[in-house]
Structure 1
């Protein structure tokens, strides 16, 4: 049997196991371990062992539990609720103001947590009921929450980019910095769309009544201080890192301690909040570590087979495709896979193939990490089985139907595709900030 056929058999076996509902790390790890033993005998057992040792020695992985803990502390202690109250008071007087404030909330929640699910949970439980109660169009606000929550995997500290960094062997700090400007540009494009749409059709996002606008200036300032607390925590964490005063791991520890201290000072650090935060941090951290371990083992087997070189030869020599055409085909494949897989599964499945191929084609792997993440955001919201679509269906109130959820995402997917195109055409959007910071 040829190595190309073995690689195809491994890939199809893994996809079959995933379609039967097996856990991602179980399906990928089982195929990798079994293939290694069948190909190289008992010596193949060294592959998962060496992958485990590589994982344990990867110092930046310590950032993962730190940032997850920080996000859950801020979320469970209801500090994120203060953010929405701030946006409610300051943005409510303009058409679509609360929807614009929701995007701002999502950006800050993303900076607190790094997970799309956290943004969706906060948006669906805090923002969505308020927007519906104030007469906002249900399709508009459903799309706003879904699009805003997708920023969690692009704006640092993105957990997905940590996973990509491990598989692609790229610096986490550079990847996070590369996601800053594209994430803010995409958020600004969302806000611009909402503002223009609600200006043309005020009934989609009516301004608050005058009675609700009568808030004393002292109360506005109090809410501003409370709402900006998460931003201050993020600044305390990132400013030392950007200036080179601390390492990435040290900055993540500063962020976790700052969030913990803020919850104590506000009197919200109860036993229940602490216990939930620790349990969730442990569960998610372990899940990602198992996935990374499985991905490293699978990638090692693929490298040993020479599958990457075979695919490169197929695209460039036999088919004669232009590198940009190959890159676009890879991005389209992510969109297709996103209809039935989450971001982690997509990355782990194709990274052993795509990352070396992208490098061989002469593209920057930091830049490609941002492209992958934006494409994943789009896939999250693409019917029929987009991840965010089903999260929204599970969390939305009964008056929002699945038809409303599917119909809400078209304009926001269009904005994301425009953002993806901009980053592809102008790589400096993603690469300028990490180059500037690391040059210092």
Structure 2
């Protein structure tokens, strides 16, 4: 028997043995014990290969009938059928689920626009100076493509065809290459627009908009940790990820740039600027049109224009005029009660007024002197003289010091950028303009409209689907075959998710009817766990469930059990969802049911074994655990953005 089969059989035997050990004698069973038996049977049935959605529905219907039969056998069948209809109708009327087919359709259209090859090539050349540049480019490409698609299988398969052979040809370790492809492809589980977050939001009753905002920085953090690991590994063990030879870093130059470089020009900006001036004079550059120089100079100046627009927008924001006279009135440090005080109260302060604000780094006095003392009367004019005058209502505020410091730093970096901006880097920049920036605009349009409240997830998904079609048309890939394949794959994926929701809804209702949720809650509360201990226990259980089960099954089956327990421990469901989304990537990176490993194995060269792919996944699983700990220790990583925008 194969090792995978031994593992599966052993795991199922442990589950059945645990049920037999903890369950009482059959004569002492209650409805709650039937619920726990149903939960164990569903896990075993899924591991045996039965379809998840229909197994959930079948188990839910059978045990719902048992629950109703225990109460009133005469109407048990009618009540069970009514429950099925009500639960299916509730899923059909869930507006949140409408965004799933639209996001999936957007992902399939972007996947078929053939942008990923150009994106990987341009990022590979742009990051050639970094240790492990091919693996880093693979991870960055996966992160960007996952943001545009959110489909793990598509990203892993495409990068397995494109980046994995390139890394092997460059002498990269098989395990490191496999780990980079599989871990990068799984970023679509966490980074918005993630289908997992939509499913969790619909299951837990949490705003999908806030989940998207909260998952943004954890996704960037996890990507950064992956990249840092690759760079350190390549630096410490060059044999694992050797630097690229100069021949693979070479960028072919067009005729105009080649002519200028042959004439002694080194940097793009002065070369095209001077060439533009000479071309305007006419006779000295009759062979090159003024329009050619103008186009190249315009591309060269794009980074400076982008920086000018961003800094100008920021300047407008920080110098916005004062809205009203009330903003000029200094409020005391008394908190929310003082902030709601009337103007009359502020003009006539009590006898013991609070201490005024002190500048940063200055020690506050131990006690304020009486309001009618000479010291106070003498100090008041001085304080008023030292304080900067507040701007009048409608007048623009002066820009703060940090803005000018930031502007100076940006100008220095921009000058260094143009000093290093050679003709080869200009060609790489053009490649990024053709591959990265269209995707970036699509991502900003979709996620920006959601995060800043301009559109609901469903509306933004519709805009994203239109944007995906426009991108496919711009790259001349929008034809009947592409649209047909995208629609069929979208229908299959959406049907799977919706049937899972129907099965989960019936299963959860049966579990609640049998009292299984109450039994689990009673058992957890009897342990007298602290919130920290409960959070650790829940995440460990989810981590272990990720080994035999996929994320859809964990969200659909087990989240309805965990969510009602959160109120007892004072845990925010939004924060819990971010931890779960970060944790559930183990479902695609942990053997034996690591789907990303099988996606990669299906397109990898024959000499690459499944064990090598599994071995390459293990360091990235460790990084996920580190990221999970960092998110728990510093919850602001996930909660700062939704708190700043919505709370």
TM-score when normalising by structure 1: 0.95
Look up the SS of the partner of 2:585 in the other structure: helix
- Corresponding position of 1:240: 449
- Corresponding position of 2:30: 2
Query: How far apart are the structure 2 equivalents of 1:340 and 1:172?
Result: 27
CA contact (8 A) 2:64 2:513 kept: no
Give the counterpart of 2:560 among 352, 360, 365.
352
Q: How many residues align?
A: 438
Once the two structures are TM-superposed, the CA of residue 313 in structure 1 deviates from its matched residue by 1.6
Say if 1:257 and 1:175 are closer, same or farther in 2 by CA, change over 3 A: same
Instruction: Give yes or no for the alignment of 1:370 onto 2:578.
Output: yes
Which one has more relative contact order, counting CA pairs under 8 Å at least 6 apart? Answer: 2
- Corresponding position of 1:70: 106
Once the two structures are TM-superposed, the CA of residue 389 in structure 1 deviates from its matched residue by 2.9
Give the counterpart of 1:79 among 98, 106, 115.
115
CA contact (8 A) 1:166 1:292 kept: no
Could you report, residue by residue, the CA deviation over 1:179-236 in whole angstroms, capped at 9, with x for unpaired residues?
A: 1111110000111111111112222222222122221335322211122121111111
The range that moved more, 296-305 or 365-374, is 296-305
Equivalent residues in 2 for 1:210-229 (5 A)?
A: 210-215=246-251, 216=253, 217=424, 218-228=426-436, 229=438
- Corresponding position of 1:23: 51
Once the two structures are TM-superposed, the CA of residue 350 in structure 1 deviates from its matched residue by 1.1
Look up the SS of the partner of 1:127 in the other structure: helix
Instruction: Give yes or no for the alignment of 1:388 onto 2:596.
Output: yes
Equivalent residues in 2 for 1:55-204 (5 A)?
A: 55-204=91-240
Query: How far apart are the structure 2 equivalents of 1:239 and 1:418?
Result: 29
Give the counterpart of 2:522 among 313, 332, 335.
313
Could you report, residue by residue, the CA deviation over 1:287-319 in whole angstroms, capped at 9, with x for unpaired residues?
A: 1000011112211222333322221221222x3
Look up the SS of the partner of 1:199 in the other structure: helix
Could you report, residue by residue, the CA deviation over 1:369-391 in whole angstroms, capped at 9, with x for unpaired residues?
A: 11112221124222344333333
Instruction: Give yes or no for the alignment of 1:423 onto 2:595.
Output: no
CA contact (8 A) 1:92 1:98 kept: yes
Instruction: Give yes or no for the alignment of 1:43 onto 2:79.
Output: yes
Could you report, residue by residue, the CA deviation over 1:113-145 in whole angstroms, capped at 9, with x for unpaired residues?
A: 212222211221111111111111111111111
Look up the SS of the partner of 1:135 in the other structure: coil
CA contact (8 A) 1:164 1:347 kept: yes
CA contact (8 A) 1:338 1:387 kept: no
Query: How far apart are the structure 2 equivalents of 1:384 and 1:13?
Result: 20
Query: How far apart are the structure 2 equivalents of 1:305 and 1:173?
Result: 34
Could you report, residue by residue, the CA deviation over 1:355-410 in whole angstroms, capped at 9, with x for unpaired residues?
A: 21233322111111111122211242223443333333333221212231122122
Say if 1:196 and 1:183 are closer, same or farther in 2 by CA, change over 3 A: same
Query: How far apart are the structure 1 equivalents of 2:491 and 2:49?
Result: 23
Query: How far apart are the structure 1 equivalents of 2:552 and 2:567?
Result: 21
Query: How far apart are the structure 1 equivalents of 2:447 and 2:614?
Result: 37
Query: How far apart are the structure 2 equivalents of 1:429 and 1:150?
Result: 20
Query: How far apart are the structure 2 equivalents of 1:411 and 1:361?
Result: 33
Look up the SS of the partner of 1:203 in the other structure: coil
Once the two structures are TM-superposed, the CA of residue 82 in structure 1 deviates from its matched residue by 1.9
Give the counterpart of 1:343 among 541, 545, 551.
551
The range that moved more, 155-164 or 32-41, is 32-41
- Corresponding position of 2:348: none
Once the two structures are TM-superposed, the CA of residue 157 in structure 1 deviates from its matched residue by 0.7
CA contact (8 A) 1:93 1:213 kept: no
Once the two structures are TM-superposed, the CA of residue 254 in structure 1 deviates from its matched residue by 0.9
In terms of fraction of residues, the more helix-rich structure is 1
CA contact (8 A) 2:150 2:195 kept: yes
C-alpha RMSD of matched pairs (Å): 1.7
Query: How far apart are the structure 1 equivalents of 2:90 and 2:568?
Result: 24
Could you report, residue by residue, the CA deviation over 1:150-177 in whole angstroms, capped at 9, with x for unpaired residues?
A: 1110000111111111111111111122
Query: How far apart are the structure 1 equivalents of 2:554 and 2:427?
Result: 46
Say if 1:93 and 1:427 are closer, same or farther in 2 by CA, change over 3 A: closer
- Corresponding position of 1:33: 61
